[in-house]
Chains A and B, each alone.
Chain A
């Protein structure tokens, strides 16, 4: 087996054992990127020179007996392009930031580097994380490694596709309404959206600050748990950061769901759900039941109102957050202007793509006087009801289980012209962000078109260990399936 097909933890072990050097790992991965990325377009920036230089540093540390407690030491990682990396392009896949080199690192970057990670590149995404297909990127769409006529999902589509195509061992993505979980589902990999506040957002370029959260995408649950352990933690630089009682997430990698109470909301299995996805998700629930979990269906209200509330709140926050891009301090500036207002308006019109403009306008609309109460305040009330719905559910269940997305990977271009249709695909993921909860998506089957199906599990706030245990237990019942492209079949 080629080392690029290993999991991150397996590679970490081999590096520690001296069977593989960090430089060998970096070189093997760069080779695959060169071979494959012209097809999949997962990367915006490949950091060849930096990664090789860093590999030598990390190797020295490992040889000196440092980084003993870091199972990921020496393992290359790639980062979604909305997470700031000092001196390295961080574009949000937007023209307006196409030349932006942050003067600082995000906290997650500092934490990964302290754990001995080697950053190998920056990953494609929907522009400013607004989209579910990675087709809104200024740098062109990423393609799904399972079928290049399909989207990889989004907005962390470059991250999920790179992990699936074995163009990286693991990646960091961000999830505002499903942007880690849905692409993981579409690409047949595992993605964890942690509890809001558990991972510092310092250095994550904001889309909707009350919903954004950084998390790992990897080829199995164990890797996700190890990465989460490395990046979680309280940070004074993020005022919404929360101190957790326990950060030993890899301790939860235990194959045992006996007595675990799992609820399936009936509303997650209704109209719009692809029958093959439904079948695979229910089969996953049966598997957990056979292992001793208690599985029940239940009624959860508000499922239908999550998307409208989400798009109002997210767009409102986006319109505020994205007002900082003005062509003055960094990024793109229109070449042709007369006065300062001109600089602002032309820079923004030329610098942002259509989906971003659309959301900023929705946001400006719902926050404008006359509509603020009817839309923005109303959405915050719906959010309170959604949170209450989850609180009631978690009084009865440890885990809520359902599909990650209503379908498997869509055809390229299918949803691009109809934003509302694209928004409706987020039905099972957005409420998790509104309620600040942790959620994980992992593969549970392959449909008749040969595309992976994802199952989502949702936990109570800060109960990632329960979530990891449940996901790990399910994962033990099936082997990891690789797309044909990495097996040399096409």
Chain B
């Protein structure tokens, strides 16, 4: 299928990417090729086949809700691009 400019704008917004015009053009071409190839799956009749998300019969795994780790705030904040008063600092989001 043909990928339109609108589709690229839409998926870039979903993926939270601020693409340049050049990147958009390239993405349009690449996605068109890849999705076109992926469409070969449609040659296969899958009527009545149960979609399989996991190959093994996994079930929910439960445990007691106990705290096992100690306070580690400083270590975790050490990776933050910006921190303030023991928290992650971001631009103002609420006026």
Listed in ascending order, the chain A residues whose CB lies under 8 Å from chain B are: 99-101, 103, 196-197, 210, 236, 239-240, 242, 302, 304-305, 307-309, 311-312, 319, 323, 326-333, 337-340, 342-346, 348-349, 352, 354, 357-358, 360-366, 368, 374-375, 377-385, 387, 419-420, 423, 434-436, 461
Q: How far is the CA of A383 from the CA of B51 in the complex (A)?
A: 8
Distance from A42 Cβ to chain B, minimum over Cβ atoms (Å): 25
Please determine whether B44 and A362 come into contact, CB atoms closer than 8 angstroms. Answer: no
Q: How far is the CA of A354 from the CA of B31 in the complex (A)?
A: 12
Distance from B32 Cβ to chain A, minimum over Cβ atoms (Å): 10
10 contacts between A and B (CB under 8 A): A240-B58, A323-B15, A326-B16, A354-B26, A358-B31, A365-B31, A385-B44, A419-B30, A419-B33, A420-B37
Contact with A along B5-34 (1 / 0, CB 8 A): 001101110111111100100110011011
Distance from B38 Cβ to chain A, minimum over Cβ atoms (Å): 4
- Knowing that A357-B19, A382-B41, A382-B44 touch, tell me 7 more A-B residue pairs with CB under 8 angstroms: A330-B79, A342-B18, A361-B12, A381-B50, A384-B49, A385-B44, A423-B34
Across the interface, A239 reaches (CB within 8 A) one of B7, B41, B61, namely B61
Please determine whether B91 and A345 come into contact, CB atoms closer than 8 angstroms. Answer: no
Distance from B62 Cβ to chain A, minimum over Cβ atoms (Å): 10
The B interface, classified by DSSP as helix, strand, loop or mixed, is loop
Q: How far is the CA of A100 from the CA of B78 in the complex (A)?
A: 9
Given contacts A331-B79, A385-B44, contact A323 B90 (CB under 8 A): no
Q: Which chain A positions have C-beta within 8 A of B14?
A: 319, 364, 368
Q: Which chain A positions have C-beta within 8 A of B67?
A: none
Please determine whether B80 and A378 come into contact, CB atoms closer than 8 angstroms. Answer: no
Tell yes or no: B65 within 8 A of A by CB.
Answer: no
Across the interface, A339 reaches (CB within 8 A) one of B41, B50, B53, B91, namely B91
Distance from A337 Cβ to chain B, minimum over Cβ atoms (Å): 7
Across the interface, A361 reaches (CB within 8 A) one of B11, B44, B80, B90, namely B11
In B40-95, the 8 Å CB interface with A consists of: 40-42, 44, 46, 49-56, 58, 60-61, 63, 72, 75-76, 78-82, 88, 90-93
